[in-house]
Structure 1
């Protein structure tokens, strides 16, 4: 069977249209037939987040791994959950490929944490789940593609909490999961305000946000994903909480500072929200390309999958998380 697959794979690779492969080499995007064939190996982000929302509603912890485009297609789910609340922790780990998602999370009233690539990703996931449970709100963990995750060790793991799942349509408030009722009933409005207040207190904590004290007259405010670009000789506030921002902490640090530096990426969210005229802004540019031109791996995966189809064999194609897989998921 293996020899048949290899022979078929070779034949299929040799028949790929030259025009499309040339286009791929020039534009660094995958040929259409390759994209369509590989799509079946990837579950849509909308389905992933919908399932995670269902788990969190019945009291289970849930983690969804999606891209920024998947996030935009799930606006209604996240916006609804911000009013109905959730019973279990829900964190959407969003790989940011194209657009700065922080402005968007603010519009849909969803808390957003920026990932610090110097730290273990599991610690951020665990804290985001805890914060989500404390505030009864879904959380978004932003991971720009140019900030690769810190390598895990054997002692690091995502904490599993497994309460018995059950659905109660009137849990702690009447018509809990009715979206319209959750935005109009006095009890629902009161609960929503309480959740926001809890969130505002959490964002001031110096656990994910990190303060490195040096020269108090020189202050740098750095988004967590840009932590590697932080100035070495200045008092540095590494901000993980993006929405909401820890305004009290920022005001206290900048009140007496003579020099203020803002280090950020994307659409310079921190510059827009902090609005300090005397601040110097340093933008960290993205250092990646969507797909490396000439990469043979997508073609190979496409050809193997098609070969398995043609010889009527049920096969499973396993891949590692290369950049083309990330690209295809969008």
Structure 2
């Protein structure tokens, strides 16, 4: 009898890859997809790695597929942008061993800079997309995706969302299928995408699309539920759960393949219901195609293109119900903040004091944009801080950026920042780049990267020397500074921004959450000496608060002894207390 266990969606995706006989997995950590690789690493039968970025991860998986084994690449939706270059071309090439990409979208913007819809990218790339609705389907759809990939000679995307990736459900475990490696056959016309070959392969892609449209009508991952035919829903993924909760008696066509759409199946369903609704989060990808076929349907006229859906939202928008559910009291907002003892806070305190503007990047350090630090002025995407600063200089001149720095983390620098730094050097920039090296990929839960000295499996490996790397591409002014040595850091920032040349400042202090040893030292405020000036509160440490009477105190349950507050106090009112 098969074992049944409760799994996160991401855990189930990993299990699906294992059971499907996948042999190679590559990814760059990005919420909400990170836990896929963190679970795949538990299966020794699969080689798994953190790649420097999603483009590299996709290319590693492509190479494995071409060599004849099943391969997986995992990423979040904005990571697909980075991987788009190889994805669009491997759509023409096709596969040898099955090639699957799991891409996790983020409706509701829980941890992302936009809400883009992976299905739109996949349509442009002419790549099939499967969309599971729970953990059980997450596992099974990955297995089906590998079979589909090999049958139709195509990469396949399995689309997730934050809700699916981070929700739990019952999953039935099955044995792994052991597949013989497919033999590699040299095929110049298929695998070398020069223009002459690509023209021929484009015809193959269009033929494949037509076959999937026809055959998709019979795929077992699509489900038709005929109940009350006065109202029918076409939906997929997590929205299916909301539809079933809000309208349990309605007829439903649950699509497992959402690109390309199974046209005849949809036409048949639409013909049997009186009123047809299309329920899909984010863009009207299904809706626009269905309406283009002359089918009357209701979708974004009543539903939003923003954020996550819910059963209550559907009841209100479609059922016209007034919500009678007792809503909980409004909870106070809890905006994200840098942790007590975070080295980024120390760096931003110096930059704030010097009135330096920050061209920002994607990571924990993006929080330097909010009060009271308010240093980061721009944030676009990973690696963009250096490039945008360079663009400012070329637009306004080198004097314009004397009070600007580009701020980027160690993992993000290796992701795409290094390319931007090379561009700054090559095109004779003079900007100052600050690499906030906290020895981890902090924003997604402390994953290792190429400069930490450990692989995804935790095995020791060569650690990239970031300072030496910067020097190797032509940076003549490289400084390494302890993030909490604020006096030296202030001096270095002044010096670096004054010179007419590219400078890199690497602030080195590990993420406070990496150190699991008990706190040995904390700080206390002497109320008899404290002048209540508030200078210690300027960095915004959540451990320091002001009472109604103006007294400033340090919360001993939060203080981890970084000492930044002591540095800020000019009256000697803050001193350390040894705990052990």
Do these two structures clear the TM 0.5 threshold for a shared fold by scoring above it? yes
Distance in 2 of aligned mates of 1:132 and 1:298: 48
- The 5 Å alignment of 1:56-67 reads 56-67=65-76
Check conservation: 1:200, 1:246, Cα contact below 8 A. yes
Deviation beyond 3 Å, 4+ runs, structure 1: 148-154, 159-162, 188-194, 280-285, 294-306, 313-319
Check conservation: 2:61, 2:72, Cα contact below 8 A. yes
| Change in 2 beyond 3 A, CA 1:116/1:193 | same
Matched, 1:50 2:59: yes
1:168 to 185, 195, 209: 185
Distance in 1 of aligned mates of 2:289 and 2:215: 19
**Which residue matches 1:146?**
163
| Change in 2 beyond 3 A, CA 1:221/1:154 | closer
Matched, 1:219 2:232: yes
The structural deviation recorded for 1:201 is 3.2
- The 5 Å alignment of 1:154-193 reads 155-156=173-174, 159-164=176-181, 166-170=183-187, 175-180=189-194, 181-185=196-200, 188=201, 191-193=204-206
Aligned length: 266
Distance in 1 of aligned mates of 2:283 and 2:61: 29
**Which residue matches 2:97?**
88
Q: Which of the pair is proportionally richer in helix?
A: 1
Check conservation: 1:135, 1:196, Cα contact below 8 A. no
- The 5 Å alignment of 1:181-330 reads 181-185=196-200, 188=201, 191-230=204-243, 231-275=247-291, 276-280=295-299, 281-283=302-304, 285-286=307-308, 293-294=336-337, 296=339, 299=342
Once superposed, what is the RMSD of the aligned Cα atoms? Answer: 3.5
| Change in 2 beyond 3 A, CA 1:297/1:184 | farther
| Change in 2 beyond 3 A, CA 1:273/1:298 | farther
**Which residue matches 1:38?**
none
Query: SS in structure 2 opposite 1:216?
Result: strand
Considering only CA atoms, is the larger Rg found in Structure 1 or Structure 2?
2
Unaligned runs of 5+ in 1: 1-40, 307-312, 320-330
The structural deviation recorded for 1:191 is 4.0
**TM-score, normalising length: structure 1:** 0.69
Distance in 2 of aligned mates of 1:130 and 1:268: 28
| Change in 2 beyond 3 A, CA 1:258/1:57 | same
- Which deviations, in whole Å up to 9, do the C-alpha atoms of 1:129-181 show, x marking residues without a partner? 11111100000111111333544646246x444323543222xxx52212134
2:86 to 68, 77, 85: 77
Check conservation: 2:131, 2:158, Cα contact below 8 A. yes
Matched, 1:107 2:124: yes
Check conservation: 1:92, 1:139, Cα contact below 8 A. yes
1:127 to 101, 122, 144: 144
| Change in 2 beyond 3 A, CA 1:299/1:240 | farther
- Which deviations, in whole Å up to 9, do the C-alpha atoms of 1:225-266 show, x marking residues without a partner? 311111211110111211101111111111242111211101
Distance in 2 of aligned mates of 1:58 and 1:314: 28
Unaligned runs of 5+ in 2: 1-49, 107-114, 311-333, 344-363, 365-436, 443-451, 459-580
Distance in 2 of aligned mates of 1:317 and 1:169: 32
Query: SS in structure 1 opposite 2:92?
Result: helix
Distance in 2 of aligned mates of 1:292 and 1:76: 35
